[in-house]
Amino acid sequence: MTRDADTFLMRLTGSSLADVWRLGPSEVVCAVGGGGKTSLLERLALEHEAEGSFVVLTTTTHVWPPAAGQRPLMIVDSPDDIESLRRPEGGMSPVVGRGLDKAGKLMGVPPEWVSLLRDLPWAAAVLVEADGSKGLPLKAPAEWEPVLPECASLVLGLAGLDAQGTPLDDAHVHRADRLAALLDLPRGAPVPPARLLDAVLGAYAPSLPSQAGLFVVFNKADLRPPAAGLVQAAAAAPVETWAGSVAPVGALVRTEGPYGDGRWRRLDSCDERPDVLVLAAGLATRMGADKLLARLGDGSVLGSVVRAATGCAGLGRVVVVAGPDSTAAEAALRKDCPAGDYEVVSNPSPEAGMASSLQVGLTHLDGGRDLLVLLGDQPLVSIDTVSRLLAARAVSPRAAAVGLAQAGGVGPPVLLHRSLRPQLLELRGDQGARLLLARHAAAVIGVACEPDETLDVDTPADLARAREIRGRRRG
């Protein structure tokens, strides 16, 4: 089959998963579990190539290498080899590994090398097979599995829907004893369809990297749709849950049945609201006092920002990152936002720069959601400001970031795609997310704003101006 025919087949068999799953820039997508990991990652690679992008396919375990005439194979022996990998020729994304073992399988790269693959200037994503299942539709991992890199942004936990009702034995389930213990079922018992979700979540949620999202993916729905019990269980799932079919390239997809059209269907009603970080640990060197607690209207500078975050229905958890002594900030916020739902945490080393506050805040938030970053000294940012950012994100869910348009780019507040959260943990110094915005400038969206909305209260003159503007608005 030609590459054009591959792409045509992909379009026939359903919507782009990259769009449906809202994949962002520099994704590190790791497939674990059973029931079609290789085929799923191949489909994602084809979709990126149809968009004109290249990805890196790799493994942290052992997989069969590409056959002759398929994808190019690139062998790396050290991190230096990765940095020298060139943009592939011929329109095909490469498979990268460390060579072949005695059985002829491709040996995976160490998980700490995956971030180097992600940072290759030509790589739109890294697609990692991080688990093995011996071709079976269901598995439970051993103690050393899965092999997930800390830089993973999205983990896809797979199970084949042909595992509904399958016996818990070695002929049908990889590591059947472990899965039987996890599900508290006797060995050999059939797996109830509704417990398929428990099998994936119980096996893989505990090993999730701190800032990675988790999707549960039920494959082979064209051959066997999810049973009513599984659909009901998925509707209450705490993570995104999808059912569909990833047919191998060149295979025919059945056309009968509710999933015969090749489309993927979301089964859950998971809350997708972005998390919020309010950065309020600055040293206020130009103000000469704690600028964030300065009075502004009927509250404080910081209180104005937190009210904008907690008052917007489209946002999720709000974490305020204060300085080493957060007592004064907490006391001020209790007065300014008595009904607000937020958490105040302390950055013990704000002198290390804004990146340190981002990292402190992220440790208090689970991964998998977009992230809105607000500065505690921008008191003229309003609920309307935040709502405009959310509206722009809804139109472009795969954008790297959405922020207020300013001279030379965008500025805070800025709404970052969840794929960038692991990279925020790698930042150092006082640049904040600016380096990431520059790296992904082509995928950053600027939202028009009034000049007053971006006012930073850095000096007494700034505070006086903010008070005058606030008074004028209320007058």
Residue 274: Cβ within 10 Å count: 22
pLDDT of res. 11: 38
Q: Is residue 367 domain-shared with residue 435, that is, in the same domain? A: yes
Residue 15's pLDDT is what? Answer: 67
Determine what percent of the chain is predicted with pLDDT higher than 90: 68
- Give the residue among 357, 367, 436, 363 at the shortest CA–CA distance from 399: 436
pLDDT given at position 252: 47
* Cα 148 from chain centre: 14
Cβ-count burial of 273 within 10 angstroms (0-12 exposed, 13-18 middle, 19+ buried)? middle
CA nearest to 159, candidates 233, 77, 55:
233
**55 and 162 housed in the same domain:** yes
Residues 168 and 316 in one domain: no
Domain match, 258 and 282 both: no
Q: Say how many domains are in the chain.
A: 2
Residue bearing the bigger pLDDT, 69 or 301: 301
pLDDT tens string 265-277:
999 988 889 999 9
C-alpha torsion 38→40→43→48, nearest 10: -100
**Contacts (Cβ under 8 Å, ≥6 apart) of 71:** 57, 92, 93, 94, 95
Q: Answer whether 136's CB lies under 8 Å from 195's CB.
A: no
The whole-number pLDDT of residue 7 equals: 38
CATH number reported for the structural domain that contains residue 453 in this entry: 3.90.550.10
Find all residues with CB under 8 Å of 459, minimum gap 6, and list them: 286, 287
How deeply is 352 buried, as exposed, middle or buried, from its count of CB atoms within 10 A (0-12, 13-18, 19+)?
Answer: middle
pTM for the complete prediction?
A: 0.91
What's the chain's average pLDDT? 89
Give the residue among 10, 233, 21, 245 at the shortest CA–CA distance from 125: 21
For the segment 413-440, what is each residue's pLDDT rounded down to a tens digit?
A: 999 999 999 999 999 888 778 888 999 9
Let me know whether 94 and 242 are in one domain.
yes
Q: Which of 266, 301, 326 is the last residue of a domain?
A: 266
Same domain flag for 56 and 164: yes
Same domain, 367 and 450: yes
Which of 208, 242, 266 is the endpoint of a domain? Answer: 266
Mean pLDDT of 36-65: 94
For residues 15 and 105, membership in a common domain is answered with yes
Question: Which domain-ending residue is among 205, 240, 266?
Answer: 266
Q: For position 284, what pLDDT does the model report?
A: 59
For residues 386 and 423, membership in a common domain is answered with: yes
Claim to verify: residue 26 and residue 160 sit in the same structural domain: yes
Read off the tokens for 237. Answer: 């799932």
Which of 180-194, 203-217, 270-284 comes out lowest in average pLDDT? 270-284
Q: Which residue range(s) make up the domain with 167? A: 3-266
- 183, 58: one domain: yes
Same domain, 433 and 376: yes
447 burial class (0-12, 13-18, 19+ CB within 10 angstroms)? buried
